Structure 1
Amino acid sequence: MTPIVLVVTGRVTRDAVPGLCAELEALLYGPDGAARAPGAGVDCDVGGVVRADLALVEAIARLGLVARRAGGRRLRLRNVPPELRSLLDLVGLADVVDLGYGTGRTQGAGPVTGRCRSGAPGPG
């Protein structure tokens, strides 16, 4: 089954976290509140994030809770930069989410269903 995918890019700030959670909820539930694709996995592509920090770790933890509340789904991360992997391991979240889930190019995967730019501009 094609996974539900949320793509996060830019710099994630603490102020952006509620919006990211709302975006994932919109992907998981229809307008009537019924779960969409109940058997589908939940993937979060973080390859476009420009800074791995504790705000991003908080966002991942909260997105993981949203996924679990949607029928016990587990959040799988795609394109995890090494510094984010280290942070997740340091705070004990490496066991809560699936890390290193491919490159975003899984065989048979459909189009990305959600794309969210986190509000803050990247460096440059």
Structure 2
Amino acid sequence: MIVFWFLLIALVVVVAAVTLAVVGGGSEAVLPEAEPDRVVDALPETRPVERADIDALRLPVAPRGYRMAEVDDVLDRLAAELAERDARIAELSALVTPAAAGSTTPAPAADRQPDEAPRVDLGKDGR
């Protein structure tokens, strides 16, 4: 019977010690608050996004999947950069198209007729 009471008191002391340690009975907390999971390496702000940036991107996981706000931010940034690149490609294509339309096939050489095959110089001995 004495062993029973000893074990019961020991159990109460251990439970109380663990509870105080977790709750933080002292001046400093034993278990600090966990920071929310966020994107560690966000997309660069000072330069355009490259493929390596997308490959290295790891979105934080939430209890029910990914954090919608983080995913929305990344998708908005990528959509803006793609729209900017599409506009730049269209602008450059518009500049190239008139220049390409003005140039046609090169004129034939002056020393041969257009239907004549080009001459091959075989050297002195004809080989």
In terms of fraction of residues, the more helix-rich structure is: 2
- The one of the two structures with greater contact order (alpha-carbon pairs below 8 A, sep at least 6) is 1
TM-score for the superposition, normalised by structure 2: 0.24
When Rg is computed on C-alpha atoms for both structures, the one with the higher figure is 2
In terms of fraction of residues, the more strand-rich structure is: 1
TM-score for the superposition, normalised by structure 1: 0.25
